[in-house]
Amino acid sequence: MQEPSIAPLLEDLKSVDETVRERATHALWRIWFEQKGVLGLESIRRAQTLLEAGNNVEAESTLTALVQSQPDFAEAWNRRAVLYYSQGQYYRAIADCETVIRLNPVHFGALHGLGLSHAALGNYPEAIAAFRQAAAIQPFAIANQRLLLECTLRLG
């Protein structure tokens, strides 16, 4: 999913100017959420509303139906990975994050989620690799730097 239109946004993530980075981050998320138009976006919003209401089963069902009908919709896979992570289903989250990354190798959110899931399982070398990839895309993201350091310390 690496379109030419996102190349400048990816460069902006490396800017020393925080405003430029924030604008690029928001623009990338918007592109990713809107990849499949209004219907895809509405399904993701419906799943989020269900999650916020505590209806995890129906949220998962909504996202699963979406990834089955739109298997190249990276953000649908990512949203389901977030759901699985929040439920402590780390292996399922990892599988979905890996699908997102296959579809969209610069999806820093999925790389971050992959790292979190591996860290939760104690797979620190894998977590470090994921956080390094995320940090290469978003070098000023403090969370990835902190988690990279934490995982590295846990190895020692």
Tokens read off for 29: 């998320």
Tokens read off for 153: 């310390």
pLDDT for 68-121, tens place per residue? Answer: 999 999 999 999 999 999 999 999 999 999 999 999 999 999 999 999 999 999
* 36, containing H or E segment: none
**What CATH number does residue 34 fall under?**
1.25.40.10
Could you list the beta-strand ranges (E) of 1-156.
Answer: none
Tokens read off for 134: 């995320």
Query: Number of folded domains in the chain?
Result: 1
Span 11-38, mean pLDDT?
A: 96
- Using the predicted structure, report yes or no on whether residue 156 has a pLDDT greater than 80: no
Q: What is the span of the domain harbouring residue 37?
A: 4-155
- Count the alpha carbons within 13 Å of 76 in the hemisphere toward its beta carbon: 24
pLDDT band at 1 (very low <50, low <70, confident <90, very high): very low
pLDDT band at 3 (very low <50, low <70, confident <90, very high): low
pLDDT band at 40 (very low <50, low <70, confident <90, very high): very high
**Local structure of 100: helix, strand or coil:** helix
